[in-house]
Chains A and B, each alone.
Chain A
Amino acid sequence: MQDYTDKVMEHFMNPRNVGRIENPDAFGEVGNASCGDIIQVSLKINDGIIEDIKFQTFGCGAAIATSSVTTEMVKGKTLEEALKVTRDLVAEELGGLPPEKLHCSNLAADALHKAIKEYMEKNGQNS
Protein backbone atom coordinates (compact mmCIF):
# COMPACT_ATOMS: atom_id res chain seq x y z
CA MET A 1 0.00 0.00 0.00
CA GLN A 2 2.86 2.33 0.80
CA ASP A 3 3.94 1.71 -2.78
CA TYR A 4 1.33 4.15 -4.05
CA THR A 5 2.60 7.52 -5.17
CA ASP A 6 1.19 10.72 -3.70
CA LYS A 7 -0.65 11.31 -6.95
CA VAL A 8 -2.32 7.89 -6.79
CA MET A 9 -3.41 8.60 -3.23
CA GLU A 10 -4.62 12.06 -4.19
CA HIS A 11 -6.82 10.66 -6.98
CA PHE A 12 -7.99 7.83 -4.75
CA MET A 13 -9.01 10.18 -1.98
CA ASN A 14 -10.56 12.77 -4.34
CA PRO A 15 -11.59 10.96 -7.50
CA ARG A 16 -12.68 13.19 -10.42
CA ASN A 17 -15.64 12.58 -12.70
CA VAL A 18 -17.35 9.89 -10.69
CA GLY A 19 -20.81 8.64 -11.60
CA ARG A 20 -22.77 7.56 -14.63
CA ILE A 21 -23.96 9.79 -17.46
CA GLU A 22 -27.64 9.24 -18.24
CA ASN A 23 -28.19 8.25 -21.87
CA PRO A 24 -24.50 8.30 -22.73
CA ASP A 25 -23.23 8.45 -26.29
CA ALA A 26 -20.67 5.79 -25.48
CA PHE A 27 -20.28 3.25 -22.71
CA GLY A 28 -17.58 0.72 -21.91
CA GLU A 29 -17.05 -1.82 -19.15
CA VAL A 30 -14.20 -4.19 -18.34
CA GLY A 31 -13.43 -6.63 -15.54
CA ASN A 32 -15.68 -8.75 -13.36
CA ALA A 33 -16.42 -9.11 -9.68
CA SER A 34 -14.61 -12.39 -9.21
CA CYS A 35 -11.30 -10.91 -10.33
CA GLY A 36 -11.86 -7.97 -8.02
CA ASP A 37 -12.12 -5.09 -10.48
CA ILE A 38 -14.99 -3.67 -12.51
CA ILE A 39 -14.51 -0.40 -14.32
CA GLN A 40 -17.07 1.35 -16.44
CA VAL A 41 -17.00 4.67 -18.26
CA SER A 42 -19.81 6.63 -19.87
CA LEU A 43 -19.20 9.44 -22.31
CA LYS A 44 -20.96 12.41 -23.81
CA ILE A 45 -19.54 12.99 -27.27
CA ASN A 46 -20.13 16.01 -29.46
CA ASP A 47 -18.56 16.53 -32.85
CA GLY A 48 -15.86 13.96 -32.16
CA ILE A 49 -14.93 15.55 -28.86
CA ILE A 50 -15.40 14.04 -25.42
CA GLU A 51 -17.52 16.69 -23.75
CA ASP A 52 -18.05 14.75 -20.59
CA ILE A 53 -16.90 11.46 -19.12
CA LYS A 54 -17.75 9.72 -15.87
CA PHE A 55 -16.57 6.50 -14.30
CA GLN A 56 -17.76 3.93 -11.80
CA THR A 57 -15.24 1.51 -10.33
CA PHE A 58 -15.35 -1.46 -8.02
CA GLY A 59 -11.73 -2.10 -7.21
CA CYS A 60 -8.66 -1.29 -5.20
CA GLY A 61 -7.01 2.07 -4.70
CA ALA A 62 -5.05 1.76 -7.94
CA ALA A 63 -8.19 0.86 -9.90
CA ILE A 64 -9.97 3.95 -8.60
CA ALA A 65 -7.01 6.29 -9.12
CA THR A 66 -6.35 5.07 -12.67
CA SER A 67 -10.04 5.50 -13.52
CA SER A 68 -10.04 9.01 -12.16
CA VAL A 69 -6.88 10.15 -13.92
CA THR A 70 -7.95 8.54 -17.20
CA THR A 71 -11.15 10.57 -17.28
CA GLU A 72 -9.12 13.69 -16.54
CA MET A 73 -6.68 12.93 -19.33
CA VAL A 74 -9.33 12.59 -22.04
CA LYS A 75 -12.01 15.08 -21.08
CA GLY A 76 -12.21 17.73 -23.80
CA LYS A 77 -10.04 15.66 -26.14
CA THR A 78 -10.96 14.24 -29.55
CA LEU A 79 -11.75 10.54 -29.85
CA GLU A 80 -8.51 10.01 -31.78
CA GLU A 81 -6.52 11.67 -29.03
CA ALA A 82 -8.33 9.64 -26.41
CA LEU A 83 -7.49 6.40 -28.21
CA LYS A 84 -3.82 7.26 -27.76
CA VAL A 85 -4.20 7.14 -23.97
CA THR A 86 -2.89 3.73 -22.99
CA ARG A 87 -2.44 1.90 -19.71
CA ASP A 88 1.23 2.83 -19.73
CA LEU A 89 0.48 6.52 -20.16
CA VAL A 90 -2.07 6.35 -17.34
CA ALA A 91 0.47 4.74 -15.03
CA GLU A 92 3.04 7.32 -16.05
CA GLU A 93 0.63 10.16 -15.39
CA LEU A 94 0.24 8.85 -11.83
CA GLY A 95 3.99 8.71 -11.28
CA GLY A 96 3.99 4.93 -11.57
CA LEU A 97 2.09 2.01 -10.06
CA PRO A 98 3.28 -0.94 -7.98
CA PRO A 99 4.32 -3.70 -10.43
CA GLU A 100 1.54 -6.11 -9.45
CA LYS A 101 -1.05 -3.38 -10.14
CA LEU A 102 0.15 -2.45 -13.61
CA HIS A 103 -2.10 -4.95 -15.33
CA CYS A 104 -4.82 -6.07 -12.98
CA SER A 105 -5.93 -2.69 -11.70
CA ASN A 106 -5.14 -0.46 -14.63
CA LEU A 107 -8.14 -1.15 -16.82
CA ALA A 108 -9.68 2.26 -17.28
CA ALA A 109 -7.92 2.86 -20.61
CA ASP A 110 -9.32 -0.47 -21.82
CA ALA A 111 -12.84 0.52 -20.80
CA LEU A 112 -12.39 3.85 -22.56
CA HIS A 113 -11.10 2.26 -25.77
CA LYS A 114 -13.94 -0.22 -25.73
CA ALA A 115 -16.47 2.59 -25.41
CA ILE A 116 -14.94 4.69 -28.18
CA LYS A 117 -14.54 1.79 -30.60
CA GLU A 118 -18.15 0.72 -30.15
CA TYR A 119 -19.22 4.31 -30.64
CA MET A 120 -17.19 4.62 -33.84
CA GLU A 121 -18.56 1.36 -35.23
CA LYS A 122 -22.09 2.43 -34.43
CA ASN A 123 -21.54 5.75 -36.15
CA GLY A 124 -19.83 4.25 -39.15
CA GLN A 125 -16.40 5.62 -38.45
CA ASN A 126 -13.15 3.75 -38.66
CA SER A 127 -10.82 3.98 -35.74
Chain B
Amino acid sequence: MKRIYLDNNATTPVREEVKNAVLPFLMENYGNASSRYKEGRIVKNAVESSREVIAKAIGTEAKNLVFTSCATEGNNTVLRGYGVNFKENKNHIIVSAVEHPAVLETAKYLTKHGYEVSIVPVDQKGRINPADVEALIKENTGLVSIMLANNEIGNIYPVKEIAEIAHKHNVLVHTDAVQAVGKIPVDFNDLGVDFMTISGHKFYALKGIGALVIRKGKRLTPYLTGGHQEKNRRAGTENVIGIISMGAALELALKEMDSEAKRVSVIRDYLEEKVVAEIPYVKVLGDKEHRLPTTTNISFEFVEGEGIQLKLDYAGIAVSTGSACSSGTLDPSHVITAMHVGEDEAHSTIRFSLGRETVKEDIDYTVEELKKTIVTLRSFSPLYDRFINNIK
Protein backbone atom coordinates (compact mmCIF):
# COMPACT_ATOMS: atom_id res chain seq x y z
CA MET B 1 0.00 0.00 0.00
CA LYS B 2 1.17 3.50 -0.79
CA ARG B 3 1.95 5.37 2.42
CA ILE B 4 0.98 8.99 2.89
CA TYR B 5 3.51 10.61 5.16
CA LEU B 6 2.13 13.67 6.94
CA ASP B 7 4.64 13.87 9.75
CA ASN B 8 7.42 15.92 8.17
CA ASN B 9 7.96 17.90 11.38
CA ALA B 10 9.14 14.64 12.94
CA THR B 11 11.59 13.90 10.18
CA THR B 12 11.88 13.92 6.40
CA PRO B 13 13.15 11.44 3.84
CA VAL B 14 16.60 12.07 2.40
CA ARG B 15 16.43 13.62 -1.05
CA GLU B 16 17.87 11.82 -4.03
CA GLU B 17 20.29 14.68 -4.73
CA VAL B 18 21.41 14.61 -1.12
CA LYS B 19 22.03 10.89 -1.25
CA ASN B 20 24.14 11.35 -4.37
CA ALA B 21 26.16 14.10 -2.75
CA VAL B 22 26.93 11.87 0.20
CA LEU B 23 27.83 8.63 -1.60
CA PRO B 24 31.46 9.51 -2.58
CA PHE B 25 32.19 10.13 1.09
CA LEU B 26 31.29 6.66 2.23
CA MET B 27 34.02 4.62 0.54
CA GLU B 28 36.13 6.76 -1.81
CA ASN B 29 36.72 9.78 0.38
CA TYR B 30 36.96 8.29 3.80
CA GLY B 31 39.71 10.45 5.31
CA ASN B 32 39.61 12.21 8.65
CA ALA B 33 39.18 15.94 8.12
CA SER B 34 41.84 16.59 10.76
CA SER B 35 44.54 14.70 8.80
CA ARG B 36 46.99 16.86 6.87
CA TYR B 37 47.59 14.47 3.96
CA LYS B 38 45.51 14.18 0.78
CA GLU B 39 42.73 11.91 2.12
CA GLY B 40 42.16 14.35 4.95
CA ARG B 41 42.35 17.46 2.79
CA ILE B 42 39.68 16.20 0.40
CA VAL B 43 37.26 15.66 3.28
CA LYS B 44 38.22 18.91 5.00
CA ASN B 45 37.48 20.84 1.80
CA ALA B 46 34.09 19.19 1.46
CA VAL B 47 33.23 19.95 5.08
CA GLU B 48 34.29 23.57 4.73
CA SER B 49 32.39 24.17 1.52
CA SER B 50 29.30 22.70 3.16
CA ARG B 51 29.86 25.07 6.07
CA GLU B 52 30.01 28.00 3.64
CA VAL B 53 26.77 26.96 1.94
CA ILE B 54 24.88 26.48 5.20
CA ALA B 55 26.18 29.68 6.77
CA LYS B 56 25.17 31.71 3.74
CA ALA B 57 21.74 30.06 3.65
CA ILE B 58 20.98 31.16 7.21
CA GLY B 59 22.53 34.60 7.14
CA THR B 60 25.80 34.17 8.92
CA GLU B 61 29.50 33.56 8.26
CA ALA B 62 31.06 30.12 8.04
CA LYS B 63 33.30 30.75 11.03
CA ASN B 64 30.25 31.20 13.27
CA LEU B 65 28.92 27.74 12.47
CA VAL B 66 29.71 24.74 14.67
CA PHE B 67 28.56 21.30 13.57
CA THR B 68 26.86 19.16 16.20
CA SER B 69 25.28 15.73 16.33
CA CYS B 70 21.76 17.14 16.51
CA ALA B 71 19.76 20.14 17.67
CA THR B 72 19.41 18.61 21.13
CA GLU B 73 23.17 18.85 21.48
CA GLY B 74 23.13 22.44 20.24
CA ASN B 75 20.38 23.41 22.67
CA ASN B 76 22.16 21.71 25.56
CA THR B 77 25.42 23.45 24.68
CA VAL B 78 23.77 26.88 24.78
CA LEU B 79 21.78 26.39 27.97
CA ARG B 80 24.63 24.80 29.87
CA GLY B 81 27.40 26.96 28.45
CA TYR B 82 26.22 30.58 28.00
CA GLY B 83 27.42 31.61 31.46
CA VAL B 84 31.01 32.01 30.29
CA ASN B 85 30.05 35.32 28.66
CA PHE B 86 29.42 36.98 32.02
CA LYS B 87 31.77 37.96 34.81
CA GLU B 88 28.94 37.94 37.32
CA ASN B 89 26.65 34.97 38.05
CA LYS B 90 23.81 35.26 35.54
CA ASN B 91 22.07 32.04 36.46
CA HIS B 92 18.51 32.95 35.46
CA ILE B 93 17.19 31.51 32.19
CA ILE B 94 13.91 32.42 30.49
CA VAL B 95 12.28 29.91 28.15
CA SER B 96 8.81 29.66 26.66
CA ALA B 97 6.23 27.09 27.72
CA VAL B 98 6.15 25.65 24.21
CA GLU B 99 9.85 24.97 23.68
CA HIS B 100 11.02 21.59 22.48
CA PRO B 101 11.92 19.19 25.32
CA ALA B 102 15.59 19.64 24.33
CA VAL B 103 15.28 23.16 25.78
CA LEU B 104 12.50 22.73 28.34
CA GLU B 105 13.81 19.58 30.01
CA THR B 106 17.39 20.88 29.97
CA ALA B 107 16.21 24.06 31.67
CA LYS B 108 14.34 22.00 34.27
CA TYR B 109 17.44 19.90 34.83
CA LEU B 110 19.52 23.03 35.37
CA THR B 111 17.22 24.18 38.19
CA LYS B 112 18.71 21.32 40.21
CA HIS B 113 22.17 22.71 39.56
CA GLY B 114 22.01 26.29 40.75
CA TYR B 115 19.97 27.85 37.94
CA GLU B 116 16.65 29.63 38.09
CA VAL B 117 14.22 29.19 35.24
CA SER B 118 11.18 31.28 34.30
CA ILE B 119 8.62 30.11 31.79
CA VAL B 120 6.98 32.53 29.36
CA PRO B 121 3.30 31.65 28.99
CA VAL B 122 1.41 31.48 25.69
CA ASP B 123 -2.15 32.49 24.90
CA GLN B 124 -4.93 30.26 23.58
CA LYS B 125 -3.48 30.47 20.09
CA GLY B 126 -0.07 29.50 21.39
CA ARG B 127 1.30 33.02 20.85
CA ILE B 128 4.09 34.62 22.84
CA ASN B 129 3.88 38.27 23.82
CA PRO B 130 7.39 39.83 23.83
CA ALA B 131 6.28 42.06 26.73
CA ASP B 132 5.80 38.90 28.81
CA VAL B 133 9.43 38.02 28.16
CA GLU B 134 10.59 41.47 29.23
CA ALA B 135 8.50 41.28 32.41
CA LEU B 136 10.43 38.17 33.47
CA ILE B 137 13.90 39.69 33.03
CA LYS B 138 15.70 40.19 36.33
CA GLU B 139 19.09 41.38 37.53
CA ASN B 140 20.59 37.89 37.20
CA THR B 141 18.97 36.91 33.87
CA GLY B 142 21.60 35.63 31.46
CA LEU B 143 19.71 33.91 28.67
CA VAL B 144 16.39 33.98 26.88
CA SER B 145 15.65 30.92 24.73
CA ILE B 146 12.62 31.16 22.46
CA MET B 147 12.07 28.92 19.46
CA LEU B 148 11.64 30.42 16.00
CA ALA B 149 8.83 28.06 14.96
CA ASN B 150 6.90 25.53 16.97
CA ASN B 151 6.99 21.87 16.00
CA GLU B 152 3.47 21.01 17.14
CA ILE B 153 1.34 23.93 16.05
CA GLY B 154 3.67 25.62 13.56
CA ASN B 155 3.52 29.07 15.17
CA ILE B 156 6.31 31.46 14.17
CA TYR B 157 7.50 33.57 17.08
CA PRO B 158 8.67 37.22 17.14
CA VAL B 159 12.26 36.29 17.95
CA LYS B 160 13.73 39.44 16.42
CA GLU B 161 11.60 41.64 18.66
CA ILE B 162 12.39 39.50 21.70
CA ALA B 163 16.12 39.71 20.92
CA GLU B 164 15.96 43.51 20.78
CA ILE B 165 14.22 43.62 24.15
CA ALA B 166 16.61 41.15 25.77
CA HIS B 167 19.69 42.94 24.49
CA LYS B 168 18.49 46.21 26.04
CA HIS B 169 18.85 44.39 29.35
CA ASN B 170 22.21 42.83 28.48
CA VAL B 171 20.63 39.37 28.24
CA LEU B 172 21.81 36.83 25.65
CA VAL B 173 19.30 35.29 23.24
CA HIS B 174 19.10 31.80 21.80
CA THR B 175 16.62 30.52 19.28
CA ASP B 176 15.89 26.91 18.40
CA ALA B 177 15.28 27.32 14.68
CA VAL B 178 14.92 23.63 13.89
CA GLN B 179 11.41 23.80 12.45
CA ALA B 180 11.97 27.05 10.57
CA VAL B 181 15.17 26.43 8.64
CA GLY B 182 14.51 25.03 5.18
CA LYS B 183 10.81 25.98 5.35
CA ILE B 184 10.86 29.77 5.71
CA PRO B 185 13.63 32.35 5.27
CA VAL B 186 15.87 32.44 8.33
CA ASP B 187 18.51 35.12 8.70
CA PHE B 188 20.69 34.85 11.78
CA ASN B 189 22.03 38.38 11.44
CA ASP B 190 18.64 39.92 10.92
CA LEU B 191 17.14 38.03 13.86
CA GLY B 192 19.89 39.51 15.99
CA VAL B 193 20.14 36.50 18.28
CA ASP B 194 23.39 35.34 19.85
CA PHE B 195 22.92 31.61 19.37
CA MET B 196 20.82 29.53 17.03
CA THR B 197 20.42 25.78 16.60
CA ILE B 198 19.40 23.89 13.48
CA SER B 199 18.96 20.25 12.50
CA GLY B 200 19.51 18.58 9.13
CA HIS B 201 16.89 15.85 9.08
CA LYS B 202 14.02 18.33 9.20
CA PHE B 203 14.92 19.50 5.69
CA TYR B 204 15.74 16.26 3.86
CA ALA B 205 19.32 15.77 5.07
CA LEU B 206 20.56 12.82 7.12
CA LYS B 207 19.61 12.23 10.72
CA GLY B 208 22.34 12.83 13.27
CA ILE B 209 23.60 16.19 12.07
CA GLY B 210 22.92 19.63 13.45
CA ALA B 211 24.62 22.98 13.72
CA LEU B 212 24.99 25.71 16.26
CA VAL B 213 25.52 29.31 15.22
CA ILE B 214 27.48 31.45 17.65
CA ARG B 215 27.58 35.21 17.16
CA LYS B 216 31.04 36.67 16.68
CA GLY B 217 32.44 37.70 20.03
CA LYS B 218 30.15 35.40 22.01
CA ARG B 219 31.31 32.15 23.53
CA LEU B 220 29.95 28.91 24.92
CA THR B 221 31.59 26.44 27.24
CA PRO B 222 32.06 23.38 25.03
CA TYR B 223 29.71 20.55 25.87
CA LEU B 224 32.15 18.00 24.44
CA THR B 225 35.84 18.44 25.12
CA GLY B 226 38.69 16.55 23.50
CA GLY B 227 40.29 17.23 20.14
CA HIS B 228 40.61 20.59 18.40
CA GLN B 229 37.78 20.09 15.91
CA GLU B 230 35.41 22.97 15.19
CA LYS B 231 37.97 25.47 16.46
CA ASN B 232 37.87 23.97 19.95
CA ARG B 233 34.16 24.63 20.23
CA ARG B 234 33.01 21.03 19.78
CA ALA B 235 35.38 18.08 20.04
CA GLY B 236 34.86 14.86 18.15
CA THR B 237 35.46 13.66 14.60
CA GLU B 238 33.15 15.44 12.20
CA ASN B 239 30.09 13.62 10.90
CA VAL B 240 31.30 14.11 7.35
CA ILE B 241 28.38 12.62 5.44
CA GLY B 242 25.95 14.38 7.75
CA ILE B 243 27.62 17.73 7.14
CA ILE B 244 27.69 17.20 3.39
CA SER B 245 24.05 16.11 3.38
CA MET B 246 23.02 19.19 5.31
CA GLY B 247 24.78 21.54 2.90
CA ALA B 248 23.31 19.84 -0.16
CA ALA B 249 19.81 19.74 1.33
CA LEU B 250 19.79 23.33 2.50
CA GLU B 251 21.08 24.64 -0.82
CA LEU B 252 18.18 22.90 -2.56
CA ALA B 253 15.66 24.01 0.04
CA LEU B 254 16.73 27.62 -0.34
CA LYS B 255 16.47 27.50 -4.12
CA GLU B 256 12.95 26.07 -3.95
CA MET B 257 11.75 27.85 -0.83
CA ASP B 258 9.42 30.48 -2.30
CA SER B 259 7.64 28.18 -4.70
CA GLU B 260 7.52 25.23 -2.30
CA ALA B 261 6.19 27.32 0.58
CA LYS B 262 3.40 28.61 -1.66
CA ARG B 263 2.61 25.18 -3.04
CA VAL B 264 2.50 23.40 0.30
CA SER B 265 0.57 26.12 2.10
CA VAL B 266 -2.17 25.85 -0.52
CA ILE B 267 -2.41 22.12 0.15
CA ARG B 268 -2.29 22.65 3.91
CA ASP B 269 -5.11 25.21 3.70
CA TYR B 270 -7.08 22.81 1.52
CA LEU B 271 -6.70 20.11 4.18
CA GLU B 272 -7.86 22.46 6.91
CA GLU B 273 -10.83 23.77 4.97
CA LYS B 274 -11.92 20.29 3.96
CA VAL B 275 -11.69 18.95 7.50
CA VAL B 276 -13.59 21.89 8.94
CA ALA B 277 -16.27 21.63 6.23
CA GLU B 278 -16.73 17.88 6.34
CA ILE B 279 -16.20 16.87 9.96
CA PRO B 280 -18.27 18.47 12.72
CA TYR B 281 -16.83 19.55 16.08
CA VAL B 282 -13.26 20.18 15.06
CA LYS B 283 -10.99 23.08 15.93
CA VAL B 284 -7.86 24.31 14.19
CA LEU B 285 -5.28 25.22 16.81
CA GLY B 286 -2.46 27.76 16.63
CA ASP B 287 -1.84 31.19 15.16
CA LYS B 288 -3.12 31.23 11.61
CA GLU B 289 -1.50 34.62 10.96
CA HIS B 290 2.04 33.56 11.80
CA ARG B 291 2.83 29.96 11.17
CA LEU B 292 4.77 27.54 9.02
CA PRO B 293 3.30 26.80 5.60
CA THR B 294 3.53 23.06 6.25
CA THR B 295 1.80 22.56 9.56
CA THR B 296 -1.69 22.37 10.99
CA ASN B 297 -2.90 21.01 14.29
CA ILE B 298 -6.54 20.07 14.60
CA SER B 299 -8.52 18.82 17.57
CA PHE B 300 -11.32 16.35 17.01
CA GLU B 301 -13.70 16.69 19.91
CA PHE B 302 -14.91 13.62 21.84
CA VAL B 303 -12.23 11.27 20.51
CA GLU B 304 -8.74 10.46 21.64
CA GLY B 305 -5.77 11.14 19.38
CA GLU B 306 -4.02 7.81 19.55
CA GLY B 307 -7.13 6.05 18.28
CA ILE B 308 -7.21 8.40 15.29
CA GLN B 309 -3.51 7.88 14.69
CA LEU B 310 -3.84 4.08 14.83
CA LYS B 311 -6.74 3.99 12.40
CA LEU B 312 -5.04 6.36 9.97
CA ASP B 313 -1.85 4.32 10.19
CA TYR B 314 -3.88 1.25 9.31
CA ALA B 315 -5.21 3.15 6.28
CA GLY B 316 -1.67 4.05 5.22
CA ILE B 317 -1.43 7.56 6.65
CA ALA B 318 1.24 8.75 9.11
CA VAL B 319 0.34 11.61 11.47
CA SER B 320 1.25 12.47 15.04
CA THR B 321 -0.88 13.28 18.05
CA GLY B 322 -0.61 15.35 21.20
CA SER B 323 -2.39 12.63 23.11
CA ALA B 324 -0.66 11.26 26.19
CA CYS B 325 -1.16 7.74 25.05
CA SER B 326 1.22 7.90 22.15
CA SER B 327 4.02 9.79 23.80
CA GLY B 328 5.04 7.14 26.28
CA THR B 329 5.02 9.71 29.07
CA LEU B 330 1.33 9.57 30.03
CA ASP B 331 1.23 13.36 29.81
CA PRO B 332 -0.55 15.05 26.94
CA SER B 333 1.33 17.57 24.79
CA HIS B 334 2.87 20.35 26.89
CA VAL B 335 2.30 22.73 23.97
CA ILE B 336 -1.45 22.20 23.77
CA THR B 337 -1.71 22.08 27.55
CA ALA B 338 0.07 25.45 27.81
CA MET B 339 -2.55 26.93 25.49
CA HIS B 340 -5.34 26.18 28.01
CA VAL B 341 -7.87 25.39 25.34
CA GLY B 342 -9.81 22.81 27.35
CA GLU B 343 -8.93 19.99 29.69
CA ASP B 344 -9.35 17.14 27.22
CA GLU B 345 -8.34 19.08 24.11
CA ALA B 346 -4.71 17.98 24.18
CA HIS B 347 -5.79 14.35 24.04
CA SER B 348 -7.79 14.95 20.88
CA THR B 349 -5.24 16.70 18.69
CA ILE B 350 -3.66 15.51 15.48
CA ARG B 351 -0.73 17.26 13.87
CA PHE B 352 -0.46 17.17 10.12
CA SER B 353 2.93 18.31 8.84
CA LEU B 354 3.18 18.30 5.08
CA GLY B 355 6.29 18.08 2.98
CA ARG B 356 7.61 18.39 -0.53
CA GLU B 357 6.17 15.00 -1.45
CA THR B 358 2.63 15.86 -0.32
CA VAL B 359 0.11 16.30 -3.13
CA LYS B 360 -3.54 17.31 -3.13
CA GLU B 361 -4.72 13.76 -3.84
CA ASP B 362 -3.10 12.65 -0.58
CA ILE B 363 -5.28 15.13 1.23
CA ASP B 364 -8.46 13.91 -0.46
CA TYR B 365 -7.72 10.37 0.64
CA THR B 366 -6.67 11.47 4.12
CA VAL B 367 -9.86 13.43 4.75
CA GLU B 368 -12.00 10.53 3.50
CA GLU B 369 -10.25 8.19 5.95
CA LEU B 370 -10.43 10.78 8.71
CA LYS B 371 -14.17 11.14 8.27
CA LYS B 372 -14.70 7.40 8.63
CA THR B 373 -12.32 7.24 11.59
CA ILE B 374 -13.97 10.05 13.49
CA VAL B 375 -17.48 8.67 12.88
CA THR B 376 -16.40 5.26 14.14
CA LEU B 377 -14.58 6.49 17.23
CA ARG B 378 -17.40 8.87 18.13
CA SER B 379 -19.93 6.05 17.74
CA PHE B 380 -18.68 4.60 21.01
CA SER B 381 -17.34 7.70 22.70
CA PRO B 382 -19.16 8.37 26.00
CA LEU B 383 -18.37 12.08 25.61
CA TYR B 384 -20.01 12.23 22.21
CA ASP B 385 -23.01 10.25 23.44
CA ARG B 386 -23.47 12.68 26.32
CA PHE B 387 -23.13 15.67 24.06
CA ILE B 388 -25.46 14.46 21.31
CA ASN B 389 -28.12 13.06 23.66
CA ASN B 390 -27.71 15.86 26.16
CA ILE B 391 -27.00 13.47 29.02
CA LYS B 392 -25.64 14.95 32.23
Contacts and interface: CB of A to CB of B under 8 A. Distances in A.
Interface string A1-29: 10010000100110100111000000001
Nearest to A103: B330
Contacts of B330: 100, 104
B380 A56 contact: yes
A61 B332 contact: no
B310 interface: yes
A95 interface: no
Given A1-B326, A33-B347, A60 B307 contact: yes
A98 to B, nearest CB: 9
A56 B391 CA distance: 14
Interface size range on B against A: 20 to 34
B224 interface: no
Interface stretch (B52-60, B109-117, B238-246, B381-389): B381-389
DSSP majority for the A interface? mixed
A104 B310 CA distance: 18
A12 B381 contact: no
Contacts, number: 79
A29 B343 CA distance: 19
B310 A61 contact: yes
Contacts of A105: 325
A13 B311 CA distance: 8
A19 B379 CA distance: 8
Contacts of A34: 343-344
Contacts of B310: 1, 4, 9, 12, 60-61
Nearest to B309: A1
Nearest to A2: B313
Interface in B300-334: 302-304, 306-307, 309-311, 313-314, 323-326, 328, 330, 332
B308 to A, nearest CB: 10
A40 B347 CA distance: 18
B182 to A, nearest CB: 27
B343 A62 contact: no
A55 interface: yes
Contacts of A18: 379-380
A57 B325 contact: no
A55 B382 CA distance: 9
Contacts of A48: none
Given A13-B314, A100-B330, A36 B380 contact: no
A1 B304 contact: no
B325 A58 contact: no
In the A-B complex, the 8 residue pairs with the closest CB atoms? A60-B325, A33-B344, A60-B306, A18-B380, A56-B382, A34-B343, A36-B347, A61-B310
Interface of B: 302-304, 306-307, 309-311, 313-314, 323-326, 328, 330, 332, 343-344, 347, 379-383, 385
Interface of A: 1, 4, 9, 12-13, 15, 18-20, 29, 33-40, 55-64, 100-101, 104-105
Given A33-B343, A62-B325, 19 more contacts: A1-B309, A20-B382, A33-B347, A34-B344, A36-B304, A36-B323, A39-B382, A56-B381, A56-B382, A57-B380, A58-B302, A58-B303, A58-B344, A59-B304, A64-B307, A64-B380, A101-B325, A104-B325, A104-B330
